[in-house]
Structure 1
Amino acid sequence: MVVLYVLIALAVVGLLTGVHWYVWRRLVGDTTARGGWARRTGTMAAFVLPLMSVGAVISGRAGAPFPLQRVLAWPGYLWLALLLYLTLALLVGEAVRPLLGAWLGRRKPAEPADVRSTERPAAAADEAAAGRTADAGSAVTAVAPAPAAVRTDGPAPAASRRLFVARAVAVGATAVAAGTVGYGTYTVLRGPRVKRITVPLAKLPRRAHGFRIAVVSDIHLGPILGRAHTQRVVEAVNHTNPDLIAVVGDLVDGSVADLGPAAEPLRALRARHGSYFVTGNHEYYSGADAWLDHVRELGLRPLENERTELPGFDLAGVNDVAGESEGQGPDFGKALGGRDRSRASVLLAHQPVVIHDAVKAGVDLQLSGHTHGGQVWPGTYVAELANPTAAGLERYGDTQLYVTRGAGAWGPPVRVGAPPDVTVVELASTRT
């Protein structure tokens, strides 16, 4: 197993090294002069930025001081997002490069032709004067031939044409990548948008028709997203005036000591039937027991493989599968065993992959997060391959699964093609 991890690590390092070399070659090597300040600056950035990215990724796991994590996080994680879109844009540029070069090769500027036409009369006059002088017996015994005129109306020189194409592609790719990352960062920092769906449940009694659950997942408080982000999420949730709030994991990326103040606004969550919490995989990276105690202090009730009866349905929650390494994984028997199956049931589970266990347990609706909807395109396709449902509502037998894209972001504070959301799930009774 250790050997496998080492091989994977080496493959990742090799891939990242190759990608960085390619980006450096296209942005710096092909566009700047040897020994110039621009090449020196670009080459230095090609070494410093990857190191900051590595530092941002490992500093939290290594227990580095939180201020240092924050210093590394912004440039380190943003570079990872920028690297992705720079690489994609430059690969598109490979197709544009020969087309632009061919177009420049066929182009004939008009100005040199005008200059040639204005010089011809003067040249003819000079030749006539020379002829008259020779006829008059000039002492000139030989006239050296005039140097051949340099044609300036043909294709641009190949070297300058290649440089122009390289710089045009580099500037275009940088502009597209920076614009994409900038918009993706704004999408995260403006806060989640409210999404509303209606889910019909056959077992739900009429008295519970219209019950509204605000589903929040993947807030990911950490060295980048802090107290202000929590406040935006709380305001978005409370604005929906829900009957119940379900926080389905990945609240934090760090310890209570570092992130307790950032989570403080959660005290202001308001719902008629209270706020509930289940662990995500990142809680187990951050000290799950301490965070379970802290969310209780903030007014949320953790559901640790347990359930509670609400008017019209049972609400259950299971621990995240990452807790198995600590003997705290999901236990469907404990959470759902022995209940009255004639009652509707709603399950809170961080990862969609437990849907098959939920089907066996007779769950009517599972609410999950974890996927971020892929967070950044084309990661959306990876999320779809890695999860039974990446985002939205789907049915598995008699069980329905809803997956929210989450309210925050992990790693780069960037979302492209998968905007953050808080989802209000309205339960609908199909009974007459």
Structure 2
Amino acid sequence: MADRIFWWSILAACLIGHLGIHVAIYNRLNGFGIRRRVLKAIEYGFAFTTLLIPLAMAWVFRDALTDLVLGRPENLPIPAILMSYGMACLLCWIVFGLPWLAWRPILGLEWVKTQRDIEVVDIRNHVDHTLPLTNKCRFAEQMPLNQIFELSIEQIQLPVAGLPAKLDGYRLAQFSDVHLTGHIHRDFCKYVVERATEWQPNLMALSGDIIDSHHCVDWLTDIFSGARATDGCYFILGNHDTRIASPDETRAAMSSAGWIDVGQEPTTKRLADVESEIIGNESPWFPVANIPRQSSAFRLLLSHSPDQFPWARKHNVHLMLAGHTHGGQGRLPLVGPILSPSFHGSRWASGDFYKPPTTLHVSRGVCGTHLLRINCRPQLSLLTLRSA
């Protein structure tokens, strides 16, 4: 019996390690600027091998596996290929598993402690029509635990290291990843913009992934032209904005709606009478503006991906706002997110982080092409900056 328990445990650990390898590769593939068609082909291939490898090995080596699970070590050795892949899966526990465990939200490593007041709003109760526009979205809406229309409006007192005294109390509204696909009525995103404007922020920021379907470019003026902030509304693009024929159409439409594009060119502005630079980073999908690493100004960075956190630190950024990861799209209790399209996995999937000299806020985003959110509501961040 002891031998059976031992070998069952080893096989279970190998299977989890096999899944871990695939999740780790999936997450990190999305950290590169791979063309969408190529990336999707690779992802589908990995989805296939996630199932195929265990099934194929179970069939090909069924006799050896039967000996293992029945605790008959006298019939070993294990076939070399089975042993080699099993060792690779067990090694995954060390290479990927231990760092993954170390960065779980419950442990709080690199996290900034914040005061949060959260209001959850089911936007379906605040519009006079249904939000789903397609059968796909109507089906997703009915799925148990799906929170796609439950907006979390989070007022956050965010400590920022090195914050100039005059910016203490500065109000900044941020959201990300609106993903206009045509599956959801435009009034969903319009409601987010209206709530951000009602808060009367000093500055409003949108950190990329605006358009997924070309016809939705025509929605941008209606959705975003009502946004107001005393120091302006700023935006950048993300990887999904490369899906239409010309991302310049999105830039032009957002600019026509009164938003300021900082994705390709930073801008200077006095925020609360403090010399400031508002910078965009759309890497690796678009070129990054060449700016000096050091500056005497307060630096605010809009980055689509949190993967640019090291870049922000090298360039003396005080506050970085990001999205892209959608908070993992689903979060397990205590454990947090598993999937996260980042070169760093789910380390910075959402939340507030600090590594000198940069404070990072990562939004869970507003929408997505995957119409499913489990324990991971869409987010509007209303940030009040505080001296750390």
Normalised by the length of structure 1, the TM-score is 0.55
CA positional deviation for 1:282: 0.9
Map Cα deviations across residues 162-196 of structure 1 (whole Å, 9 max, x no partner).
xxxxxxxxxxxxxxxx7xx3441xx3224x22112
Code of the residue aligned with 1:382 in structure 2: it is: L
Q: Tell me, yes or no, if structure 1 residue 220 matches structure 2 residue 179.
A: yes
Q: For 1:5 and 1:219, locate their aligned partners in 2 and report how far apart those are by CA, in whole Å.
A: 21
Q: Distance in 2 between matches of 1:6 and 1:220?
A: 21
Q: Does the aligned pair in 2 maintain the 1:230–1:263 contact within 8 Å?
A: no
The CA deviation at 1:391 is: 0.9
Q: Which runs of 5 or more residues in structure 1 are unaligned?
A: 19-69, 82-177
State the identity as a percent. 25
AA paired with 1:317?
I
Distance change (3 Å), C-alpha of 1:260 and 1:182:
farther
The answer to whether 1:362 aligns with 2:320 is no
Equivalent position of 1:208 in the other structure: 167
What is the rounded CA distance, in whole Å, between the counterparts of 2:171 and 2:42 in structure 1?
Answer: 48
Is 1:382 the counterpart of 2:344? The answer is no
Matches of 2:380 and 2:39, distance apart in 1: 39
In the alignment, structure 1 residue 320 sits paired with structure 2 residue 277: no
1:400 to 2:359 alignment: yes
User: Which is richer in strand?
Assistant: 2
Q: 1:258 to 1:343 in 2, by over 3 A?
A: closer
The 1:343/1:6 distance shift into structure 2, 3 A limit, reads closer
**Structure 2 vs 1, CA of residues 353 and 390 (structure 1 numbering), >3 Å: closer, same or farther?**
same
- 1:337 maps to 292
1:188 aligns to what SS in structure 2?
coil
2-structure distance, mates of 1:183, 1:387: 21
Instruction: Tell me the residue number matched to 2:383.
Output: 425
Spell out the pairing of 1:21-170 with structure 2 (5 A cutoff).
71=134, 73-74=136-137, 78=140
- Paired position in structure 2 for 1:234: 193
Give the AA of the match of 1:222. Answer: T
| Structure 1 pair 216–5 and aligned structure 2 pair: CA distance change class (3 A) | closer
Given the superposition, is the C-alpha separation of residues 284 and 342 from structure 1 closer, same or farther in structure 2, using an over 3 Å criterion? same
Distance in 2 (alpha carbons) for counterparts of 1:3 and 1:254: 19
The 2-side partners of 1:252 and 1:246 are apart by 16
What secondary structure is seen at the aligned counterpart in 1 of 2:192?
A: helix
- Asked if the contact 2:177–2:324 (Cα under 8 Å) also holds between the matched residues in 1, the reply is yes
- How much has 1:270 moved relative to structure 2? 1.1
Q: CA deviation at 1:12?
A: 3.0
Task: Say if 1:72 and 1:305 are closer, same or farther in 2 by CA, change over 3 A.
Answer: farther
Match in the other structure for 2:303: 349
Aligned to 1:317, the other structure's residue is in SS state strand
Work out which of the two has the higher radius of gyration on C-alpha atoms and give 1 or 2: 1
**Aligned partner of residue 338 in structure 2, secondary structure:** helix
**Shift of the alpha carbon at 1:322?**
4.1
Bigger mean CA offset, 197-206 vs 291-300: 197-206
Q: Does 1:243 align with 2:197?
A: no
Cα offset, 1:410, TM superposition: 2.6
Counterpart Cα distance in 1 of 2:41 and 2:296? 51
Aligned-residue RMSD, C-alpha: 3.2
1:371 counterpart residue number? 325
Deviation at 1:9, TM superposition (A): 3.8
1:37-82 CA-to-partner distances (Å, cap 9, x unmatched) read xxxxxxxxxxxxxxxxxxxxxxxxxxxxxxxxx656437x83xx9x
Separation in 2, partners of 1:329, 1:390: 23
Q: 1:261 to 1:398 in 2, by over 3 A?
A: closer
Determine whether 1:306 maps to 2:266.
Answer: yes
Q: Which amino acid aligns with 1:194?
A: I
In structure 2, do the counterparts of structure 1 residues 241 and 8 end up closer, same or farther at CA, with 3 Å as the change threshold? closer
Structure 2 unmatched ranges of 5 or more: 1-33, 54-132
Partner residue of 1:294?
253
**CA distance change for structure 1 residues 362 and 16 in 2, over 3 Å: closer, same or farther?**
same
In the TM superposition, what whole-angstrom CA distance separates every residue of 1:366-406 from its partner, at most 9, and x where no partner exists? 11011110112458222286154111111112211110111
> How much does 1:7 deviate?
6.9
Question: Contact conserved, 2:176 with 2:324, CA < 8 A, in 1?
Answer: yes
**Contact 2:232 2:259 (C-alpha < 8 Å) held by counterparts:** yes
Letter aligned with residue 266 of structure 1: F
The separation in 2 between residues aligned to 1:360 and 1:194, in whole angstroms, is 31
Post-superposition offset of 1:4: 10
- Deviation track 1:284-327 (CA, whole Å, cap 9, x = no partner) reads 1233111001100111111024132222252323242243xxxx
Q: Conserved in 2, the CA contact under 8 Å of 1:222 and 1:259?
A: no
> How big is the shift at 1:253?
1.0
Counterpart residue number, 2:47: 12
**Bigger shift: residues 305-314 or 239-248:** 305-314
Q: Look up the equivalent residue of 2:223 and give its one-letter code.
A: P
- After TM superposition, give the deviation of residue 204 of structure 1 in Å: 3.2
TM-aligned CA deviation for residue 330 of structure 1? 2.0
Task: Name which of 219, 242, 245 aligns with 1:284.
Answer: 242
Residue in structure 1 matched with residue 86 of structure 2 by the alignment: none
AA aligned to 1:295 is: M
- Taking the aligned partners of 1:3 and 1:420, their CA distance within structure 2 comes to 28
Give the secondary-structure state (helix, strand or coil) at the position aligned to 2:225: helix
Give the structure, 1 or 2, with the largest relative contact order (CA under 8 Å, sep 6 or more).
2
